[in-house]
Chain A
């Protein structure tokens, strides 16, 4: 009945209730969809970079005069609980057959079996090469095309997404082919693939101990720390965005408070009547809070579903990823704050109504 009473009181001045509702809807939609934007950004980053978090890269320390690793360094690392992937690297001209074009490119050599650990989703043989998407697009190259390096031709057998490990404009050969071309025996870097992310720090420390025993021979970078830093920044950005959304919710709260205060004034006599037939102060407060609760619930639900729609547009067309469970979390956050705001802004009007002197309220016309 309290609910019924509140509902009818809201219907009494429908336009005013709808305006109050609109405020909540906009506020909640803003908070949730900005939250979803932040979540989408984070997910996009994870999709692009998430796969690198299992890797540790070991570079020679150029400042101390080290420019490469030898077989002995690699063997020392084999005791660690991870895959050790030595990488050859150089730069050279690559001819593109049929296009009469010559491109200076980063060329990597990796052991045929090790490639599987790098999550590139390509297969290469000793007579083929893989290129990154940038290289492929810039030179209009597809799987099956032929490239020529040092007068030997290779078939393009795979195209991988460029990452921090293998940047734009790069090409991967098998280690055997690489050595045939460049005869090099030294590695320019070593990648460690750690299956369990929780072991990253431990393995990083052990690597440090093994290679940098006497002096700082190498620089060791765990990619998950980069990822964490990026995630941290995005989290802050999305809180900031949601904070902006919260401002519109604050405005909505003021709107509800205003509407409630108006109806307290208008219904002063009724409040007096209710008090005289046995309503306690608490009953009066509950009555007004119910009205706010109804506004809050309806407004928040509509706002949350709108945010799903906006969120879908943002994520799908702007970030080009897909919505997932995080959208529901931000919807729930929006709904929670929407209802909370409605209730809080009704507190003062409800308190004021309960404080009315019954006699004065009854006299009021």
Chain B
């Protein structure tokens, strides 16, 4: 489902070249749940952004659902983000002037414009909120009227809107207390069991344990991998 081949990402800081990622090779199978850990500045977010087609590697190849994304232009990358990927952020990043439901409708609007009726769009968005286990009575609340956990559920519902095969989450529990964080991870796990491929970046080993596998990054390189057996 996701394949990184010799991926390197460098930044120029004046004369100096900074390696954010060094020759990364990673395969993530369909339906897998992968956690990425590592110290601050080790390149976790950079890697996730490259997988999510927000960023392009300096060198190497990236395949998403067997599509080589290196060669795509901005519109092509936008389509991959829209159709194949759902993003979940640490700070939830909901649009403050839109209600919970409208936030979830937004990706549908970007994808279908007017070709999907308003009614159908609402129905789908409500379904996603339900999948994200947000009570329906909050559907018409603005983000600032919701708790952190509820906001993250809306963000997850938004990530599900276009029914993408991949969910990418960059420290999804980072802004939540550990109890709420655990509930959010249980939700991501449930979505994974329903067939989504999930990649989560985290500092928290308890969060990382929800994965089938933990990839440890250090200084832009994969230091080691840990398979979590049992289930």
Contact = CB atoms under 8 A, between A and B. Distances in A.
Interface string B31-60: 000000000000000000100101100000
B98 A5 contact: yes
A12 B97 contact: yes
B54 A276 contact: yes
B97 A9 contact: yes
A278 B87 CA distance: 10
Interface of chain B: mostly helix, strand, loop or mixed = helix
Interface in B81-101: 81-83, 86-87, 89, 93, 95, 97-98
A186 interface: no
B162 interface: yes
Contacts of B107: 277-278
Contact of B162 (A269, A276, A278, A281): A278
B78 interface: yes
B54 A269 contact: no
A280 B107 CA distance: 11
B162 A273 contact: no
Contact of B81 (A5, A11, A276, A283): A276
Contacts of A283: 110
B3 interface: no
Given A277-B82, A277-B107, A8 B98 contact: yes
A273 B97 CA distance: 14
A80 to B, nearest CB: 67
Contact of A278 (B81, B89, B95, B102): B81
A8 B78 contact: no
Contacts of B74: 280-281
A197 interface: no
A22 interface: no
A269 B93 contact: yes
Nearest to B80: A278
A281 B82 CA distance: 13
Contacts, number: 63
B97 A8 contact: yes
A5 B97 contact: yes
Interface in B109-137: 109-111
Contacts of B86: 277
Interface residues of A, number: 22
A298 interface: no
A276 B107 CA distance: 10
B171 interface: no
Given A12-B97, A273-B95, A359-B49, A280 B54 contact: no
Contacts of A111: none
A251 interface: no
A261 interface: no
A273 B55 contact: no
Indicate the member of A1, A274, A275, A280 with the most B CB atoms within 10 Å: A1
B78 A270 contact: no
A106 to B, nearest CB: 75
Contacts of A12: 97
A281 B74 CA distance: 8
Contacts of A274: 95, 106, 110
A363 B135 CA distance: 30
B221 interface: no
A362 interface: yes
Interface string A271-289: 0011111111101000000
B153 interface: no
A347 B26 CA distance: 42
Interface in A281-310: 281, 283
Given A277-B82, A277-B107, A278-B111, A270 B95 contact: yes
Contacts of A278: 78-79, 81-83, 107, 110-111, 162
A294 to B, nearest CB: 14
A362 B168 CA distance: 15
Interface of A: 1-2, 5, 8-9, 11-12, 269-270, 273-281, 283, 358-359, 362
Interface of B: 49, 52, 54-55, 74-75, 78-79, 81-83, 86-87, 89, 93, 95, 97-98, 102, 105-107, 109-111, 158-159, 161-162
5 contacts: A8-B97, A275-B81, A277-B107, A280-B110, A281-B78
10 closest Cβ contacts across the A-B interface? A278-B82, A278-B110, A8-B97, A273-B93, A280-B78, A277-B107, A358-B54, A279-B110, A276-B87, A278-B107
